[in-house]
Amino acid sequence: MNVIKTEKAPGAIGPYSQAIEVNGMVFASGQIPVNPATGEIPEGIAAQAEQSCKNVGAILEAAGSGFDKVIKTTCFLADIADFAAFNEVYAKYFVSKPARSCVAVKEIPKGVLCEVEAIAVK
């Protein structure tokens, strides 16, 4: 088991790792839209989806993987009405169309609008 850590994505805000690699599989923790350089959160679902996907990408890269090797994602939305706008951004990153679950939840940490987690191969 290998703990994945990069400064190109926000650090964990709790007792967990950004990702764990085991037996050639990468399990990335959910990424919220925090800019790792500034700590800022962009406004609106499109900008937040963009930042969340960039954060996932940075972790995948640190693990020796990439978006093209993602096999499953789980996406959380604060408002299911944002589903279409979220999908527009998501589709630019996950072009291989991995398996996915996408659900609306009551709240996401820091009051953000979305969170994305991924499972990938190396």
Domains defined along the chain, listed by start = 2-121 (3.30.1330.40)
Condensed to tens digits (0 to 9), the pLDDT of residues 2-44 reads 999 999 999 988 899 999 999 999 999 999 999 999 999 999 9
Please tell me the predicted confidence (pLDDT) of residue 31: 98
Q: Record the tokens describing residue 67, joined without a space.
A: 């978006």
Please tell me the predicted confidence (pLDDT) of residue 13: 81
* Active site amino acids: 102
Please tell me the predicted confidence (pLDDT) of residue 14: 86
SS3 of residue 75 by DSSP = strand
Rounded CA separation 41/62 (Å): 22
